[in-house]
Amino acid sequence: DVVLTQSPLSLPVTLGQPASISCRSSQSLVYSDGNTYLSWFQQRPGQSPRRLIYKVSNRDSRVPDRFSGSGSGTDFTLKISRVETEDVGVYYCFQGTHWPPYTFGQGTKLEIK
């Protein structure tokens, strides 16, 4: 099974400051079709998960452009350029390349300092 390791697991950030979350995979996430199926999800307190980024760097509609994804192979990063109050929650990376099982990272809890 592919293991996704996120860091940090806890991320206190000052409002208006940038934030960055790392996701490292135990295997390359490049699929045979050339795509890399690495996504990022946000889960606000008491809500369902919401996808932010798919295929490494594609932002979903209605996701603010302060969110960006990057990386390749086994190393990926989610960046928030300026953290806002509504960004509080848990962030998960996810891989859909090697399945079953599909796997998620452990989650990174972002809070306002």
Structure-token pair, residue 71: 């990386």
Task: Give the interface with other proteins as residue ranges (CB under 8 A).
Answer: 33, 35, 37, 39, 41, 43, 48-51, 54-55, 60, 90, 92, 94, 96, 99-107
How would you class 48 by CB atoms within 10 Å of its CB: exposed for 0-12, middle for 13-18, buried for 19 or more? exposed
Nearer to other proteins (CB atom), residue 16 or residue 100: 100
- Taking the complex as a whole, the smallest distance from the CB of residue 92 to other proteins amounts, in Å, to 6
- Taking the complex as a whole, the smallest distance from the CB of residue 107 to other proteins amounts, in Å, to 5
Nearer to other proteins (CB atom), residue 83 or residue 90: 90
Do residues 109 and 9 touch, judged by C-beta distance below 8 A?
yes
Residue 18 is which amino acid? P
- C-alpha 61/C-alpha 48 separation (Å) is 17
- Taking the complex as a whole, the smallest distance from the CB of residue 110 to other proteins amounts, in Å, to 14
Nearer to other proteins (CB atom), residue 66 or residue 107: 107
Structure-token pair, residue 11: 């991320």
